[in-house]
Amino acid sequence: MEVLQIVTYPDKFLRQPAKAVENIDGKLQKLIKNMAATMYQAPGVGLAAIQVGSDKSLIIYDELPNDEKHCLKVLINPKIIATEGSVLSENEGCLSVPDFRADVKRAAAVLVEGVDQDGKPVRIERDDFLAVVLQHEIDHLNGTLFIDRISALKREIYKRRIRKQLKSK
C-alpha cells in the first residue's frame, strides 16, 4: 500500500465536484487501499478521494476510530438522503485544512445511501459522531470544505493565515 499525498487548501482541486464511479475494478480497489493507508497514517477518521487527488465519488471512514482494531468502511457514490435535527460538531478538523479547527453546525442524524467496495447497496442511518464524519466527507465530494460552514470572520482569519504562509515560502 502506498501513502498518498493529501491535497490541502487552497488547492482548487478540492472545490470540484467528484464524478460518479462507473466501474468497481482493480484500479479502484487499489485506490481504496492507498486511501486507507493514507488516512491511518495522517491520522484521520475519514477521507474522500478528492483529498488525495482523485475525482472519484468515494469516501472511506473508520467506524471505530479510537479502537486498536480498524473497522474500515467504504462508500462509493454516497448521497445524503435525509437529515434530521441539528448538532454542533465541536472542534471539527480536516486533513485538507491543516492546523485549523472550528465548531461546525451539522445535522444530528443522517440517512446515507451508496454502494460498498463490492458494489452492494448500502443504507446507513447514524445519529452519532459518524453522522458528522459522513456529512464532512460527502461535503468534500461536492466541493465543500468545513470552513465553508463556519462564520465569515473565522473563515477569513484562516484564509489570511494561509496566504501569509504561502507568501513566506
- Say what the pLDDT of residue 169 is: 74
User: Does the annotation count 137 as an active-site position?
Assistant: yes
- Summarised one tens digit per residue, pLDDT across range 34-51 is 999 999 999 999 999 999
To the question of pTM greater than 0.85 for the whole model, the response is: yes
- Say what the pLDDT of residue 68 is: 75
Mean predicted lDDT score pLDDT of the chain = 95
Q: Which residue's C-alpha cell is 445535522?
A: 107
Task: With a cut of 50, list the residues of the chain below it in pLDDT.
Answer: none
- Say what the pLDDT of residue 86 is: 96
Q: What is the CATH classification number for the domain harbouring 114?
A: 3.90.45.10
Is residue 77, in this structure, part of any structural domain at all?
yes
Is residue 2, in this structure, part of any structural domain at all?
no
- Summarised one tens digit per residue, pLDDT across range 50-62 is 999 999 999 999 9
- Say what the pLDDT of residue 33 is: 98
Is residue 5, in this structure, part of any structural domain at all?
no
Provide the number of structural domains found in the chain: 1
Is residue 132, in this structure, part of any structural domain at all?
yes
Please identify which of the residues 84, 125, 137, 156 carries the catalytic annotation: 137
- Say what the pLDDT of residue 130 is: 95
Is residue 55, in this structure, part of any structural domain at all?
yes
- Say what the pLDDT of residue 66 is: 73
Full residue range of the structural domain in which residue 57 is found: 12-168
Is residue 1, in this structure, part of any structural domain at all?
no
